């Protein structure tokens, strides 16, 4: 018998039983009318989650493929982008650009901090010749547990014509991102985060300005051609074989989100974040990100002095079945990460914090027994009483 695990990861996240059941439906013809109806339903539902009237493209691929698709469909070789980085996934955007001969000017902010919109505004104002064709930025930086202020970053462009391309793979449905209202040109999402599905789908919401850029783009692509995907999608099809079972699951997860409401989802994720942060602090541990920029999806926790991330991650998994993530990039050896997005419950948070406390006790870290659960419970009580 497989031991039950509590997944407190930044992704993949737990899959609701209703979604798992939906994915068990028999196969259908992905060129037939039944698939067309499914496709139209999920694309319409995704527009609600992206909060947009723009076209949404769904690709059978991981979130990184969505990032790559944004680059190769919108930026031509030799063109320049401003890559705003606050962690490992911002740096991944830079790597993708350079792999396809796109000039990436990096505007880097320290790990654990959010991007400063004023600095972005100053750089774009200095680009009087409009050489910068796009600003690439993370909504939620998974590696550090930091949420960027996308509305302020969008406003920072002023009259500069650069596209705003936002990686919201771990942010969509966990934090507010009204694409149209904030004048974001492209938003990228992934199935295995707050959308509560296994990995395998990436979605790009693309507005008209971005589609115009796609018409002029000369970069190379084949499978990740969003114009091809859009053309097929408008007919209720896909250019290549889709992951039909994941699309059935997506239909169910969108139903669950609609039932909860986006506002309800944002509030639940924020409450879980606050529970985790209160519980971790009660154990005397430091947090990488300040409260003002803290992610509602994932929290990066600094490892106590004298310990390595594995000293916490391994016993959590092996002794208690609680699965958390290690650090990435510059903080790889300094933090572990607790995910609290998607189909994660308040009970999961409580169990994870209790297990963390026990691991710290076993490691000889002085903690007050019961403090983490008590602190998280107090936050939960206040949050549910509102």
Domain range annotation of the chain: 6-11+260-385, 17-258
With cut-offs at 50, 70 and 90, classify the pLDDT of residue 1.
very low
Domain 6-11+260-385 has CATH 3.30.450.20: no
pLDDT of residue 2: 46
Q: Average per-residue pLDDT in the chain?
A: 97
101, β-bridge pairs: none
The mean pLDDT of 129-155, rounded to a whole number, is: 98
pLDDT digits (tens, 9 = 90+) for 180-225: 999 999 999 999 999 999 999 999 999 999 999 999 999 999 999 9
Residue matched to tokens 């783009």: 217
Q: What whole-number distance in Å separates Cα of residue 360 and Cα of residue 371?
A: 12
H helices present in 23-106, as ranges: 33-50, 63-74, 88-99
pLDDT of residue 291: 97
Residue matched to tokens 């039944």: 34
Return the percentage of the chain with pLDDT > 90, whole number.
98
The CATH topology of domain 17-258 is 3.40.640
Are the CB atoms for 66 and 190 separated by under 8 Å?
yes
Among the listed residues 253, 212, 164, 206, the one whose alpha carbon sits nearest the alpha carbon of residue 56 = 206
**Helix pair angle (346-362, 309-320), 10° resolution:** 120
pLDDT digits (tens, 9 = 90+) for 313-368: 999 999 999 999 999 999 999 999 999 999 999 999 999 999 999 999 999 999 99
pLDDT digits (tens, 9 = 90+) for 87-111: 999 999 999 999 999 999 999 999 9
Return the percentage of the chain with pLDDT > 70, whole number.
99
Specify the DSSP element, H or E, that contains 104: strand 103-108
Asked if pLDDT for residue 29 goes beyond 70, the answer is yes
Q: What whole-number distance in Å separates Cα of residue 244 and Cα of residue 251?
A: 11
pLDDT of residue 384: 78
Which 3-state string (H, E, C) describes 192-205? CCCCCCCCCEEEEE
The mean pLDDT of 55-66, rounded to a whole number, is: 98
Specify the DSSP element, H or E, that contains 103: strand 103-108
The mean pLDDT of 232-258, rounded to a whole number, is: 97
67, β-bridge pairs: none
Q: What whole-number distance in Å separates Cα of residue 187 and Cα of residue 138?
A: 10
CB-side exposure of 304: number of CA atoms within 13 Å? Answer: 19
pTM value is 0.97
Asked if pLDDT for residue 83 goes beyond 70, the answer is yes
**Residue 234: C-alpha distances to residues 227, 228, 231, 241, 255 (Å):** 11, 10, 6, 16, 22
Q: What whole-number distance in Å separates Cα of residue 81 and Cα of residue 102?
A: 7
Q: What whole-number distance in Å separates Cα of residue 206 and Cα of residue 324?
A: 33
Asked if pLDDT for residue 226 goes beyond 50, the answer is yes
301, β-bridge pairs: 287, 336
């Amino acid at each position: 018998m497989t031991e039950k695990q509590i997944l407190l990861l930044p992704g993949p996240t737990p899959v609701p039983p209703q979604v798992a059941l939906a994915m068990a439906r028999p196969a259908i013809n992905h060129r037939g009318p039944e698939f067309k109806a499914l496709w139209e339903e999920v694309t319409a539902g995704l527009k609600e989650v992206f909060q947009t009237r723009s076209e949404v493209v769904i690709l059978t691929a991981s979130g990184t493929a969505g990032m790559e698709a944004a680059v190769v469909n919108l930026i031509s070789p030799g063109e320049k982008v401003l890559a705003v980085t606050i962690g490992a996934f911002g740096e991944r955007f830079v790597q993708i650009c350079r792999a396809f001969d796109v000039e990436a000017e990096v505007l880097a902010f320290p790990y654990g901090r959010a991007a400063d919109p004023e600095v972005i505004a100053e750089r774009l104002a200095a680009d009087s010749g409009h050489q910068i064709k796009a600003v690439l930025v993370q909504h939620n930086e998974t590696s550090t547990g930091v949420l960027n202020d996308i509305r302020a970053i969008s406003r920072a462009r002023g009259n500069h014509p650069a596209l705003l391309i936002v990686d919201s793979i771990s942010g969509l449905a966990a934090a507010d991102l009204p694409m149209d209202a904030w004048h974001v040109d492209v938003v990228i999402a992934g199935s295995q985060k707050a959308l509560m599905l296994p990995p395998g789908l990436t979605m790009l919401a693309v507005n008209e300005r971005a589609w115009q850029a796609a018409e002029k783009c000369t970069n190379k692509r084949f499978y990740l051609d969003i114009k091809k995907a859009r053309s097929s999608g408008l007919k209720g099809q896909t250019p290549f074989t889709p992951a039909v079972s994941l699309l059935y699951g997506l239909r169910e997860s969108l139903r669950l989100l609609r039932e909860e409401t986006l506002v309800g989802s944002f509030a639940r994720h924020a409450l879980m974040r606050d529970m985790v942060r209160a519980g971790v602090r009660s154990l005397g541990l430091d947090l990488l990100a300040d409260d003002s920029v803290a992610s509602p999806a994932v929290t990066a926790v600094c490892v106590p002095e004298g310990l390595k991330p594995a000293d916490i991650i391994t016993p959590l998994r092996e002794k208690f079945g609680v699965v958390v993530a290690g650090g990435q990039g510059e903080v790889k050896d300094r933090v572990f990460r607790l995910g609290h997005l998607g189909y994660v419950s308040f009970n999961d948070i409580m169990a994870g914090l209790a297990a963390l406390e026990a691991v710290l006790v076993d490691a000889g870290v002085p903690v007050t027994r019961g403090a983490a659960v008590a602190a998280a419970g107090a936050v939960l009580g206040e949050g549910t009483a509102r």
